[in-house]
Amino acid sequence: MNKKGLNTKKIKLNRDNISIYATVALFLLLFIIGSVKYRGFFSSQVIANLFIDNAYLIVVAIGEAVAILTGGIDLSVGAMIAFVSMITASLLEKGLNPFLVIGIVLVVGIIFGTVQGILIQKFGLHPWIVTLAGMFFARGASYLISIDTIIINDPTFSKISSFRIPILPGAFISINVVVSLIVLLVAVYMLKFTKFGRSVYALGGNEASAKLMGLSVEKTKVLVYTFSGFCSALGGLLFTIYTLSGYGLHCNGMEMDAIAACVIGGILLTGGYGNIIGPLFGVLTTGIIQTLIMFDGTLNSWWTKIAVGMLLFIFIVLQRVIVLQDEKRKSIAT
């Protein structure tokens, strides 16, 4: 028999997305375990609730991922959520127009991120130091507004918070979910089809090479933190709509959750490698762990942190293996 007529092509997985494949597989495995073990777990609303409860974190993780892709980091995102929640609640309490308040807090986030980017680029400061200072500044500024929780009673914010969008029979999502998915689509387009996106990956891969290629490294660095500031402000706005409150201790330590979502989603901490869709699955994976613990009812919520810590270790090892294999392949090729 002539074997030339047979299709001998093998289906190969994209090596660049192997971390995402692992995360998606883990998510599906956890969902299957929950569906088998707990009654009522297997439903479209359980999945929808993962998006509803974590919409703000998806947006923040996207901004964090772009910063990490350049080889940097943004530690101020959690504090910015608290700061934005306090600004929003305070201005609404004073009777300011809610849509004007939305515009103000987004501009605050953009300015905050831009200033951090300028400090990092113009003065050659390390992103860890600058964004750590930004974290302390934003958290402290929250308490200058008020040391107490400010409850939001604005009718517009209440309507947005309670609005539900049917997606399937017996399942719905919130406006926050729609906003988070729009941000994800914009980020995918931005990183995949624009010069800015190519500059982000090139900068994370090798800054010196990026300069030799004629890419605008200085401008890209500033814009990256501008985008992260915008995402943290928007995430803070979504969180404020979700909780209808402002408080200086909101999302304390949440920057670690955003970084964890990026790592679990396959974003390499040294920069230059990863798919922006990864953080979405990273957030959903940590979210489903929380849901499993909630359905169990006997485990302490701190088990979520333990599980996420174990996942971080596993995925960091996986990333290291991928990097070593790539280096080995390149050395063989040369």
Q: Residue ranges per domain, the chain?
A: 41-251+267-273
CB 80 within 8 A of CB 236: yes
Predicted local distance difference test score (pLDDT) of residue 326: 66
Distance CA 312, CA 289 (A): 13
Q: What is the pLDDT along the chain (334 residues), one digit of tens a residue?
A: 444 444 444 444 555 567 788 888 889 998 999 999 998 899 999 999 999 999 999 999 999 999 999 999 999 999 999 999 999 999 999 999 999 999 999 999 999 999 999 999 999 899 999 999 999 999 999 999 999 999 999 999 999 999 999 998 889 999 999 999 999 999 999 999 999 999 999 998 888 888 888 888 889 999 999 999 999 999 999 999 999 999 999 999 899 999 999 998 989 888 888 899 999 999 999 999 889 888 887 777 777 778 888 887 887 777 777 667 766 776 776 6
Bridge partners (DSSP) of residue 166 are: 172
User: What distance in Å separates the CA atoms of residue 276 and residue 290, rounded to the nearest whole number?
Assistant: 23
Cβ neighbour number for residue 78 with a 10 Å cutoff: 25
Q: Are 235 and 283 in contact (CB under 8 A)?
A: no
Q: Say how far apart CA 36 and CA 48 lie, in whole Å.
A: 19
Nearest-angstrom CA–CA distance, 101 and 299: 40
pLDDT of residue 314: 81
Closest CA to 227 of 205, 269, 194, 265: 194
Q: What integer pLDDT is reported at residue 4 of this predicted model?
A: 47
| pTM assigned to the model | 0.91
User: Quick one: pLDDT at residue 325?
Assistant: 72
Strands (E) across 154-226 are located at 164-168, 171-174
Is the CB of residue 253 less than 8 Å from the CB of residue 78? Answer: yes
Cite the beta strand spans of 169-268 per DSSP E: 171-174, 245-246
